[in-house]
């Protein structure tokens, strides 16, 4: 059934969420007063919000010296954003002593295998999958290696979450495309 289907997996990173640890306490009031695009409203949220235009990212900065950085579309862009935040803090008189420790928590990406997917058949044949079309139009597949979750739609488009490294996204999409093809769950897109 699925042998003649050509698969051309493509992926695109949509967002990288990372934690950054500065081993020091930060005065969020001082940061808010000295950096124009910083917002700190402790009665609403305990962290300071700092939005960067280039690269387009957002940092949630906490008193403990921990930060959550979101919006990067690559690891390179994430590192660039963290460097820019540190430079911005230093430029505005905030002393940063150590090197930031960056840890990627989650990579969210989109993927496309450029073929239609028979989700009923895939749900039946694929281990670690859940498909309840009355509740959600996509099949949820928990892949073990790489350890990611794929939301697969009948169009062949998908959302990948849980990756910690960029290559895991591509590996997961290529692997699921080959598996779906082998199981006869694919047909050419019309």
Query: Structure tokens of 135?
Result: 């509740």
> What predicted TM-score, i.e. pTM, was given to this entire model?
0.91
For residue 103, what pLDDT is reported? Answer: 97
For residue 7, what pLDDT is reported? Answer: 86
For residue 2, what pLDDT is reported? Answer: 38
For residue 32, what pLDDT is reported? Answer: 95
| Per-residue confidence in pLDDT tens, the chain, 190 aa | 434 788 899 999 999 999 999 989 999 999 999 998 899 999 999 999 999 999 999 999 999 999 999 999 999 999 999 999 999 999 999 989 889 999 999 999 999 999 999 999 999 999 999 999 999 999 999 999 999 999 999 999 999 999 999 999 999 999 999 999 999 999 998 7
């Amino acid at each position: 059934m699925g042998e003649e289907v050509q698969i051309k997996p493509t992926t695109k990173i949509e967002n990288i969420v990372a934690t950054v640890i500065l081993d020091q306490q930060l005065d969020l009031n001082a940061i808010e007063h000295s950096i124009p695009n910083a917002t700190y409203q402790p009665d609403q949220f305990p962290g300071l919000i700092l939005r960067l235009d280039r690269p387009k990212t957002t940092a949630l900065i906490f008193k403990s010296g921990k930060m959550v950085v979101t919006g990067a579309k690559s690891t390179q862009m994430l590192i660039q954003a963290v460097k820019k935040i540190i430079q911005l803090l230093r430029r505005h008189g905030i002393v940063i002593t150590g090197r930031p420790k960056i840890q990627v928590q989650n990579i969210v990406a989109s993927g496309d295998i450029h073929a239609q997917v028979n989700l009923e058949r895939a749900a039946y044949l694929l281990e670690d999958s859940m498909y309840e079309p009355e509740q959600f139009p996509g099949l949820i597949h928990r892949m073990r290696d790489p350890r990611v979750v794929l939301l697969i739609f009948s169009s062949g488009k998908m959302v990948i979450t849980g990756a910690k490294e960029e290559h895991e996204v591509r590996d997961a999409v290529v692997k699921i495309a080959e598996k779906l093809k082998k199981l006869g769950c694919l047909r050419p897109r019309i």
